[in-house]
Amino acid sequence: MASDPQRVERLCVAGSFCLFDKKLRSSGNSSIVWGLLNLVIGVALIAGKSNWGAVSLLFGLALVAAGIYERTVRDPQVIIISAATMAVLALWDFTLIGMAAMGKVHLIAGGRTLFWAIAQAWGAYATWKTYSTYKTLLEKSDPLTVQQVRIYVDELKKSKPEQSVDLIQFEVNAGFAQGTKRYRLKPVEDLYLAVRYKSQLGSLQLEEVNFVPRSEVTLSAEGEKWMSKKIKASVQLGPLKLDKVTITPAMAARINPTARAISIGHT
């Protein structure tokens, strides 16, 4: 039976909102860290008899407050406040660099201040760009659906697919620049919850949340080469085709039951 398009769209919107929400919390954490760094710099400047330390303290407190606000408040206004705070902080750091060049202040963090200023300026711009997207998601998303999808996503990250009976996991080589992407699929009635992570240094960073009809997920084994008991394959995930997939025969069989037989034939 075909999946209800409106239901799929509703779940996809909820998934996108959950992803955005996690990014917003991460951005809030970053604002708090930047704020604490400025508090430390402010204290050091005051200890060095510099009146500019008070300004750094104020910016630090403002960033901590903005970070807490960003983590807890769910309103489009939070995007503007966060972007504006980061932009002002970047301007302040550039000002410190200019005053240091004139010999008026000493940069406690040295050359790292320039790196911070550039990162903050870019962060302010990237945050500001997301305003319309977040506003649209907030208007279109259903709170109950968002809460259910959030539970699904959290459970999926904590899960061990190899110990389950229906979860699917595979990896995609996205090239040197993007590294390895790990996909996990969870059956939700006639759909798959498809989650993509960036696998880096033993941790998983959430990058995408989507829902795809189970009938639109297929796997095709490719070649006869084995890699640590994994087979090479391509996976069709709705309209998206994933090449350079590595997957265990057991996981492959959960998508395509003939994949196990194919892998046995290649041993």
What pTM, to 2 d.p., does this model score?
0.76
DSSP state for residue 257 in the 8-state scheme: T
pLDDT averaged per 10 residues, the chain (length 267): 78 92 85 85 80 81 87 85 83 80 67 80 87 90 93 92 92 77 93 90 85 93 63 91 90 79 50
List the one residue out of 61, 41, 63 whose CA is nearest residue 53. Answer: 41
Query: Are 238 and 217 within 8 A, CB to CB?
Result: yes
Query: Given this model, what pLDDT does residue 1 score?
Result: 46
Phi then psi for 193, rounded to 5 degrees? -80, 115
Write the DSSP string, 51-114.
THHHHHHHHHHHHHHHHHHHHH--STHHHHHHHHHHHHHHHHHHHHHHHHHTTSS--TTTTHHH
Query: Given this model, what pLDDT does residue 155 score?
Result: 92
CA distance 239 to 111: 47
Query: Given this model, what pLDDT does residue 149 score?
Result: 95
Which residue do the tokens 């640590």 mark? 228
Query: Given this model, what pLDDT does residue 5 score?
Result: 84
Query: Are 131 and 138 within 8 A, CB to CB?
Result: no
Query: Given this model, what pLDDT does residue 209 score?
Result: 94
Query: Given this model, what pLDDT does residue 109 score?
Result: 62
